Amino acid sequence: MRPLNTLIAAASVELRVRVREALEATLHAEIPKIAASGRLALQMLEHGSIDVIVTESNLPDMTDNELLDELDVRGFKTHVIVLSRTPMANARSALSRLKEGRLHFLESPGILGKSSDDEFKRFIIQVRQVLEKITLLRRATGPLERMPTPDMPRPSSPSAFPAPKIKLDTFRPKVICVGCSTGGPAALEVVFSRLKGKSNVPILIVQHMPPGFTESLAARIQMVSGLKAAEGRPGESIKAGHIYVAPGDYHMRLAQDSGEVVIHLDRGPKRNSVRPAVDFIFESAANIYGRNTLAFVLTGMGEDGLAGTQAIKKGGGAVIIQDRESSVVWGMPGAVHAAGSFDAIGDLERCGDLLALMSNGG
């Protein structure tokens, strides 16, 4: 595909220069336009084809939230990369873009004049990763949808784990874990709407999402599911009928403490280039609940969750994955499918029905 047409929106000349250098170094972007304010950026969008906007969190005339609102009002479907030290002040206004995978975040420290060469190189790598993700999303949702891409599942390898399939009609889980990434927020709404306020087991969710958004995600899941849902808290005992969402930028694991299963949070190194990582919650659940562990792997880019599903299968648990056709990106479920470490596959409605069934005793 052609390089991404990119617009840089930043007040600082130095910031604009450094971001342009980083974009050019990735070889994935063309930089036809540069704007010093949000209003100027919107005017430029009216008169040209822009795939990606790279903007600082607070432009002189509008915040990142206000810019996103304007883009939605005007019908622009551009991807937006926000450079920020802190989460957006009002995450709710950006959830629609997060659902569609069109909003991305990078930390702004380390790109200005005081940064070291190593810091700037790390920033270039981060920019390249985001642009590659955007390119894959454009392939997955556009006319090139069926072209082979790195997010599609690879053939099974000797390390694949084609475990025996579990008969779900007799399966009785004691814990359910759900992992997802790109397209996940919208998928979770569909799946959890099937619960109708009923669950006899605790449910834990890891959605790749930056700080400041997971609280709103939990509130949305609570509304559609009819169950209590909130961000997981360190040391909190998990309870049946409750939903726990991994907070943005924190790995979430399960641990045993005085006979209870509690939540452990940490900001350890990223795994699979993400934090929170799905693998940690899957593996820790398998370690505690063994053959009574059930996992769902929904839409998402990359392979996060693959190692965790293999741990679950080796412990005798069950895994359900979303199918290719209903996924925004069939990376995470596709990797599990290629490895053979799953028991059932279906679209979002089927996954939702299975969640409702399994959460109420099978």
For the annotated catalytic residues, the residue numbers are: 181, 208, 304
CA distances (Å), origin 178, targets 26, 67, 115, 188, 288:
33, 32, 38, 9, 16
Helices assigned H by DSSP within 193-261:
214-225
The Cα 76–Cα 285 span in angstroms is: 42
| Short-list 234, 214, 229, 342, CA closest to 276 | 214
The Cα 123–Cα 139 span in angstroms is: 25
The Cα 210–Cα 181 span in angstroms is: 11
The Cα 254–Cα 177 span in angstroms is: 11
The Cα 110–Cα 9 span in angstroms is: 18
CA distances (Å), origin 112, targets 14, 17, 57, 153:
7, 9, 15, 38
Q: At what angle do helices 13-26 and 117-141 cross, to 10 degrees?
A: 60
| Token reading at 155 | 């053939």
The Cα 187–Cα 268 span in angstroms is: 27
| Short-list 127, 142, 161, CA closest to 329 | 142
User: Which residues make Cβ contacts (< 8 Å) with residue 173, sequence separation at least 6?
Assistant: 201, 289, 292, 293, 294, 317, 318, 358, 359, 362
| Short-list 96, 94, 8, 103, CA closest to 50 | 8
Burial class (CB in 10 A: 0-12, 13-18, 19+), 102: buried
Burial class (CB in 10 A: 0-12, 13-18, 19+), 193: middle
| Token reading at 187 | 């998928």
The Cα 275–Cα 270 span in angstroms is: 5
